[in-house]
C-alpha cells in the first residue's frame, strides 16, 4: 500500500471516552484535525453522547474491547464477548460498527487476530502518557519523535495528555502536517482497504505484518 501524501500523521486516543474527551474534541475541531478513537465498550455505554460527537465530527472510532483486559489470556467465549459486545455498542450509538481493533496493551496472538475479524492497529510513536502524566513530557515526546506516516498512541482519559494536544497540533500544523484517520493513513491515494486479521505496526502505510 502506498502512504498517504506526506506529511500525514494519525493521532490515536485509547481508553475513552472519558471526562476530558469533550475538551479534546473541541481542540481537534479548532484545528480541523481528524483522529482515531479506540473506545472501550463500557465507556461507550456510559458516555454515548461523546461517541456520537466523535462520529459526527468525522473522527474514526475503533474497538478497544469491552473492559480492557489482556485478550490473550481469555477463553474463547470471553474473548468474543469483549470484541463483539463493544462493536455492537458502538454500532448502536453511531449507526456504524467499528472496522478497526486495537487490543489492550497491544497484546495479540493468532486467536485474538482470528476473533477480531478486522485489522489490528498498533502504533509507531508512544509518549508513554499513561506512565508519565506530565503535559510537557507528552508534548516533547511526540514532537521529537513524530515523522510522516506515524501512528501516535495517546490516551484521552489522561488530563495531562489532553492538555498537551493543542501544542502538538500547533507545532505539527506549522510543519505542514495533515491530521488523518488511521484508515486514511494506511489506505493512501489509491484507497486500498486494510485487511481483516492483519497487524499494522509500521509507519508510512507499510504492508501489514503477517497475521499467522
Active site residues: 14, 155
**DSSP code, position 209:** B
Backbone phi, then psi, for 8, in 5-degree steps?
Answer: -120, 150
Instruction: Give the Cα separation of 33 and 48 in Å (integer).
Output: 21
Return the CA Rg of the chain.
16
List for the chain the helix, strand, coil content (%; round to 5): 40, 15, 45
Q: b or e along 133-145 (b: 16 or more beta carbons within 10 Å of the residue's beta carbon)? A: ebbebbbebbbee
CB 104 within 8 A of CB 64: yes
CB 9 within 8 A of CB 33: no
Amino acid at each position: 500500500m502506498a502512504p498517504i501524501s506526506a506529511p500525514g500523521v494519525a493521532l490515536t486516543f485509547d481508553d475513552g471516552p472519558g471526562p476530558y474527551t469533550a475538551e479534546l474534541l473541541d481542540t481537534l475541531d479548532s484545528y480541523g484535525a481528524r483522529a482515531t478513537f479506540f473506545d472501550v465498550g463500557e465507556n461507550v455505554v456510559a458516555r454515548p453522547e461523546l461517541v456520537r460527537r466523535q462520529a459526527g465530527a468525522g473522527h474514526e472510532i475503533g474497538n478497544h474491547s469491552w473492559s480492557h483486559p489482556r485478550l490473550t489470556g481469555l477463553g474463547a467465549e470471553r474473548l468474543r464477548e469483549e470484541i463483539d459486545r463493544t462493536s455492537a455498542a458502538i454500532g448502536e450509538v453511531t449507526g456504524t460498527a467499528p472496522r478497526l481493533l486495537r487490543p489492550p496493551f497491544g497484546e495479540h496472538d493468532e486467536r485474538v487476530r482470528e476473533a477480531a475479524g478486522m485489522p489490528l492497529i498498533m502504533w509507531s510513536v508512544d509518549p508513554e502518557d499513561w506512565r508519565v502524566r506530565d503535559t510537557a513530557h507528552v508534548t516533547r515526546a511526540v514532537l521529537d519523535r513524530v515523522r510522516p506516516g506515524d501512528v501516535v498512541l495517546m490516551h484521552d482519559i489522561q488530563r495531562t495528555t489532553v492538555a498537551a494536544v493543542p501544542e502538538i497540533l500547533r507545532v505539527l500544523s506549522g510543519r505542514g502536517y495533515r491530521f488523518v484517520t488511521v484508515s486514511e493513513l494506511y489506505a493512501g491515494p489509491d484507497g486500498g482497504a486494510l485487511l481483516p486479521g492483519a497487524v499494522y505496526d509500521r509507519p508510512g502505510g507499510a504492508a501489514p505484518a503477517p497475521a499467522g
